[in-house]
Structure 1
Amino acid sequence: MNKIGLPTCLNNPIFRQLYFAQTISLFGDALTWLGLALLAFELAGKSAPVALAGALTLRVTAFTLLSPLAGSIADRFDRKPILMVTHLGRMLLVCLLPFVQSIWQIYALVLGLNILNAFFAPTYQATIPLVTGDADYRQAIALSGTTYQILGVFGPGIAGVLALFIGARDLFFWDGLSFIIAAILIGTLPGSLRSDVAEPGNRSVGQIWADIQAGTSRLWTDAPIRYGLMMQLVASIAGAQILVNTVSYVQGTLHQTGVQYGWVMMGFGLGATGGAMAIGIYPQYRSKILTILSGGMLITASLIGANYVGLVPLIFLWSIGGFGQSLINLSLQTLIADRTPTNMQGRVYGAHFAWSHLWWAGAYPLAGWLGTTFPDRTFVYGSSIGLALLVVVHLFLSPDRFTHTHLEFSHVHTHDHDLQHHHEHLIEVEIESSHQHPHVHSQLSHSHSYTDISHQHLISHHH
């Protein structure tokens, strides 16, 4: 993606068709979530932050409870029917949203939509490395993330304009159509989307529970992934403020319309697109830990003065926040792919999807409470909480100062053995003798610390 032209991962016909299916359904999603915010404001008025926070809390609750199960199933079954069924089921439910007349109906439909989405999202994430292979999966992840953000830029703006002509409720039918088209594209993929570990005899309830535990354990015992996951908690505090309270601030405090609300959210999406593009352009030579830290600082700092600005400065601040959120999310997604064997990625992505959305399950009610209790200072308080948490996470959980990757190369190490360091060789080597042997790195990730001059080989280490 650092050259003009199509990304090389699109030369893969299976990924290309899968990517186009994702793009079409995401375009409809961009319309749907803006329509949902406008519908909540229509039905709840000044209580819209609480209503929207409730709907979004149900969303992340479904993700938290069901995503680990989805990750285990994705590792052991053909992923194509999972992706198809989740698209068609969401099509049916989203087409019911134009007919709702009360908040509880929104809650019921949002819960159903996101039960299905809890099975779709980790399955899709784990399928990217499966179909692209080691050469292209980082670029494919970045491309998918960039597309998600680009549609986040244009979708809300288009939805705001369409809402003026056709009404917010009819926006949901567009999403229903997008799900049908996406399901057709996935259904016509050649062959299956089955991981190598998906074999008969590994489908018992006990094995699935063991898979869920294995995915969660790997997520929390890997220091860089654990750090990124906790930084997503920081980002969720600020991100929930943006998603829950922006509509009331723009339409209530600034006395603007749904069109202007679409512009503000377009600014958030534009910044997120910039962050995703930065990750895609520099996938091999960036410090992932510093990138994640920078993202957390940007999204939390962007909220500090948001309660005291007009429409244009708010768009600028939200673009900074969106940039920071992308830096965290995509860096962590590539870290998981870098540090997890292919046959475990469904389980780890499922566990990650659950835990990262558990953060939002707490952040959304907090944002709703701040929005109704402190409507004039909600963004200031949200930023303060996020910044305090960021400092704690970085001081106590930062695994190192620099993490970078590089392409395969070979070199020779001089190696000294003592009584505490010994391993087997093809020929006998005496203890406390110095010797050399060749060393091959393949897409390695090296971690360097200010206080520890050793380096750790994380992916493959061949003597």
Structure 2
Amino acid sequence: MLEVLADRTYRHLFAAQVVALLGTGLATVALGLLAYDLAGDNAGLVLGTVFTIKMVAYVGIAPIAGAFANRVNRRALLVALDLVRAGVALCLPFVTEVWQVYILIFLLQSASAAFTPTFQATIPDVLPDEARYTRALSLSRLAYDLENIASPMLAALLLAVMSYNSLFLGTVVGFAASAALVVSVLLPSPKPSQPRGIYDRTTRGIRIYLATPRLRGLLALNMAAAAAGAMVLVNSIVLVRSTLGLDASELAWTLFAFGAGSMIAALLLPRVLDKVSDRPVMVGGAALMVVTLLGLATEVATIGLVWPVLLSAWLFVGLGYSAVLTPSGRLLRRSAHAEDRPALFAAQFALSHACWLLTYPLSGWLMTRFGPVAALGVLAGLAGASIVAALRFWPSEDPETFEHTHDNLPLDHPHLHGTRRHAHSFVVDEEHPRWASQL
């Protein structure tokens, strides 16, 4: 997996991702402390609003940003967005009112909603070989999981010698370092696409996404991952502190079990995906999450919750979670021309976070209103229904090259070369506005 770091451009981009993630993690810890400082016992309400603003920005801004990402220099765009994020983080220590936090977080997350899909769409251009790109995806997954562990530890060490407001300066350093690393390399920029209207550019990524069967299947699997992930991220604190009566250190180990499962899967997936196609791996990962949640619900309903069982369950959920999410970039890479990838990655970013926008509040409401058995059962049912939808949307036979007939183009069109029936690597574009079976 580490062999891909021999590529200087990718190595610098990966380092930029890592330092930006560490900075974001520090900001997350500092933001919780800032919310408590400003709102006291209402800090939970403030943070809930902050996370809602984050998701709204992700869902609303990403498609708009993706529409324009291929019309500007990609390196300049990424650097500008990093500097915007650094500037916002620099303002956070000076806020005195809750509404100021909301405005700054919207600006910060809007910049992230533009940065992340553009960054993700750049990697397949840097690493065009699929095997190397697969290893890059696994490294990226590891970076996210390690950030969940490293950032709280780093924050704890820093808080021993400085105030929480100083953590925001660490965020500024992280984004500034990310910008410097992006500046240090030349990034490939695909040829610009033909001129399009604002509506066409804004909706293009989502239209390609929803017209591609494998990506409709990916959207369903995103919902399965969001259902299981929300159970872990929203309700672990209730299960550990209230149901089991354990303290904060056990909560940390419980969340670590989920992250460890995700990391194990990320380490194993490159070799697995060399031999097995994406569909069975991703569906199998989703099925593992469903079986685990149902098994834990049965355990809680019959003999009660035991901490070692919860640790094992979250480990398996983490395995399944990473098996679903890590290969998703491969599907996106296969499903669009290079010039359309920023829009398509933006669509994935927006639609996947729309799933979380649903499952986050649903998970918390189910646990609060009906208890852990109902929460586990309903979320497992939602994930299971999502698997059924994915199997229906995403055919088991999913070749890249299709033989197809063009009844939608005149015979003298340059794409046809004098014959309506031909075969080539198939993606949705101007000549192929629908999937091959529908042309």
TM range (shorter): 0.7 to 0.9
Which residue matches 1:330? 326
Alignment of 1:419-434 (within 5 A): none
Candidates 112, 116, 121, aligned match of 2:107? 112
The TM-score, its normalising length taken from structure 2, stands at 0.79
Which deviates the most, 237-246 or 118-127? 237-246
Q: 1:160·1:262 contact (CA, 8 Å) conserved in 2?
A: no
Distance across 2 between alignment mates of 1:391 and 1:146: 26
Which deviates the most, 300-309 or 213-222? 300-309
Local SS of the residue matching 1:116: helix
Alignment of 1:138-153 (within 5 A): 138-153=134-149
- Cα displacement string for residues 288-324 of structure 1 (whole angstroms, at most 9, x for unaligned residues): 2222222223334545548754655544433322222
Alignment of 1:156-171 (within 5 A): 156-160=152-156, 162-163=158-159, 166=162, 168-171=164-167
Candidates 363, 374, 379, aligned match of 1:386? 379
Instruction: State percent identity of aligned pairs.
Output: 28
Deviation at 1:268, TM superposition (A): 2.3
The TM-score, its normalising length taken from structure 1, stands at 0.75
Q: 2:14·2:140 contact (CA, 8 Å) conserved in 1?
A: yes
Which residue matches 1:451? none
- Say yes or no: does 1:240 pair with 2:230: yes
Which residue matches 1:178? 174
Deviation at 1:40, TM superposition (A): 5.1
- Say yes or no: does 1:88 pair with 2:83: yes
Which consecutive residues of structure 1, in runs of 5 or more, have no partner in the other structure? 409-414, 416-438, 445-456, 459-463
Opposite residue 384 of structure 2, the aligned amino acid is V
Deviation at 1:64, TM superposition (A): 0.9
The change in CA–CA distance for 1:392 and 1:265 in structure 2 (over 3 A counts) is: closer
Q: 2:25·2:147 contact (CA, 8 Å) conserved in 1?
A: yes
Which residue matches 1:353? 349
Which deviates the most, 304-313 or 333-342? 304-313
Distance across 1 between alignment mates of 2:224 and 2:345: 19
Distance across 1 between alignment mates of 2:364 and 2:183: 40
Which residue matches 1:447? none
Q: 2:38·2:98 contact (CA, 8 Å) conserved in 1?
A: yes
- Say yes or no: does 1:76 pair with 2:71: yes
Distance across 2 between alignment mates of 1:52 and 1:178: 22
Deviation at 1:361, TM superposition (A): 1.7
Q: 1:233·1:356 contact (CA, 8 Å) conserved in 2?
A: yes
Local SS of the residue matching 2:354: helix
Which residue matches 1:218? 208
Distance across 1 between alignment mates of 2:173 and 2:56: 26
Q: 1:128·1:137 contact (CA, 8 Å) conserved in 2?
A: yes
Opposite residue 138 of structure 2, the aligned amino acid is A
Distance across 2 between alignment mates of 1:321 and 1:38: 29
The change in CA–CA distance for 1:405 and 1:36 in structure 2 (over 3 A counts) is: farther
- Say yes or no: does 1:340 pair with 2:330: no
Distance across 2 between alignment mates of 1:253 and 1:48: 23
Candidates 254, 258, 267, aligned match of 1:264? 254
Which residue matches 2:185? 189
Opposite residue 234 of structure 2, the aligned amino acid is V
- Say yes or no: does 1:64 pair with 2:64: no
Which deviates the most, 57-66 or 242-251? 242-251
Deviation at 1:169, TM superposition (A): 4.6
Deviation at 1:183, TM superposition (A): 0.9
Distance across 1 between alignment mates of 2:31 and 2:216: 33
Distance across 2 between alignment mates of 1:171 and 1:312: 34
Q: 2:227·2:383 contact (CA, 8 Å) conserved in 1?
A: no
Candidates 18, 21, 27, aligned match of 2:13? 18
Q: Answer 1 or 2: which has greater helix percent.
A: 2
Deviation at 1:255, TM superposition (A): 6.0
RMSD over aligned CA atoms reads 3.6
Aligned residues: 402
- Cα displacement string for residues 110-141 of structure 1 (whole angstroms, at most 9, x for unaligned residues): 22211010000100010001122235323222
- Cα displacement string for residues 39-93 of structure 1 (whole angstroms, at most 9, x for unaligned residues): 5567667766654433222111111111112222222221112111221221222
Distance across 2 between alignment mates of 1:262 and 1:41: 20
The change in CA–CA distance for 1:301 and 1:396 in structure 2 (over 3 A counts) is: closer
Which deviates the most, 363-372 or 52-61? 363-372
